[in-house]
Amino acid sequence: MTIGIIAISLLFMLIGMMVQFQLKSKFTEYGKVATSSGLSGKEIAEKMLRDNGIYDVQVISVDGFLSDHYDPVKKTVNLSADVFEGRNISAAAVAAHECGHAVQHATAYSMLMLRSKLVPVTQISTTLSQWIILAGLGVMGFGGGSQTILLIGILLFAVTTLFTIVTLPVEFDASARALKWLEGTNLTTSVEHDKAKDALKWAALTYLVAAVSSVAMLAYYIMIYSGRNRD
């Protein structure tokens, strides 16, 4: 039982590390290829926002590598320094992708709205679910085990899993909007567009691995619960 949990965790941790390595490699590679437009990530982001009729979102620079994200509460497109100042394919792809989320927000894209509603409960479930599951299993000194407590932990973990699943269409759609806009505005050549698409593909894979990992772990917990009920 415990060995199974550890095995699944290690397997997907390894896969996740491999995808992350490839992602960083691609962004570093394409970060050395200048775009023909010569626009910085900041300029690309501001143009995409304007082209979509969005004027109440600010583009700002934040610390970190691949720390880029859109904040729907503050209405800011947060770009890492390399992306904010960069005039390369990686910067263009990331800046446009984050603006894709801003467009989703402005158009009330259903899956983004659902994900936003799940954030508060997901924060709680992520913090508590593993501890409650361990207590329910009665392993590693966490109590004597309880089917009721285990079920509560599984239900909490299911919320986290749902969040990872809902995140997938949100991320895929943001990339699709970014690539369509980049192509439509001719800010990237066909070769540059293919490289931007490749970079965003690897970024999307990180979310896919997280979702599959969570589903696999949830299925394993349910199997344990069902097995104990039969016993």
- pLDDT tens over the chain, length 231 residues: 567 777 878 888 899 899 989 989 999 999 999 999 999 999 999 999 999 999 999 999 999 888 999 999 999 999 999 999 999 999 999 999 999 999 999 999 999 999 999 999 999 999 999 899 988 888 655 556 788 999 999 999 999 999 999 999 999 999 999 999 999 999 999 999 999 999 999 999 999 999 999 999 999 999 888 887 665
Closest-CA residue to 4 (of 230, 221, 229, 149):
221
Length of the chain: 231
Mean pLDDT, the chain, as a whole number?
A: 92
DSSP symbol at 107: T
Annotated active-site residue 98? The verdict is yes
β strands within 127-185, DSSP E: none
Which position among 43, 46, 98, 171 bears the catalytic label? 98
